[in-house]
A = this chain, B = another copy of it.
Amino acid sequence: MELMKSSIKAIIGNIVSAEEYLEEENVDKFEDIIIEAENVFVTGAGRSGLAAKAFAMRLMHLGVSAYVVGETISPAINKGDCIIAISGSGETNTIVSATKIAKKRGSKILAVTSYPESTLGELSDCCLIVKGRTMQEVDDENYMKRQIYGNYTSLTPLGTAFELTTLVFLDAIVSELMEKMHQTESDLKARHTVLE
């Protein structure tokens, strides 16, 4: 169980050090764009997509009109809506494509990425920086990065650090949205599905 404990420690370590990149003004703007949007779409590939869904479910619990790109009943995105696009590298093909279409339609773009200077970051109206070794860096043969991250490859393989930190940050944003939207836990619970 030593390895398990080291892995948990590495995951928590990443969350804590990623906190330093959070900027108050930015987080505020991120939340306000969600609150002001008519519909909020979320999208992400693979495990980033699962983080997107986890957040969308809470947005629905909060009373936000939320949709997951690719799920059955997601309608057309329009001006007045926003899309939250999650991609560690900020370069995932399908995510960048969807974001470009959304931008052309006049929607606001919220990026969740490790790289604000990425294509996704550059497209965004507001970028939540979530540092964490991403799939892109796994590809990167750069020696220095290997040196830095080397020890973590088996503790948080592939995009694990980015994905889990994203989940935690987005759930923490839920707390702030509850306050800003005057929603109690009971309000959230009343919207929670009963068919399970």
Contact = CB atoms under 8 A, between A and B. Distances in A.
| Copy count, this protein chain | 4
A174 B155 CA distance: 8
Given A50-B50, A59-B73, 7 more contacts: A8-B168, A12-B16, A68-B71, A74-B193, A75-B192, A94-B97, A156-B171
Interface residues of A, number: 83
Nearest to A159: B192
Nearest to A187: B157
B172 A157 contact: no
Interface string A100-140: 01100100000000000000000000000000000100100
Most buried by B among A154, A157, A169, A188: A157
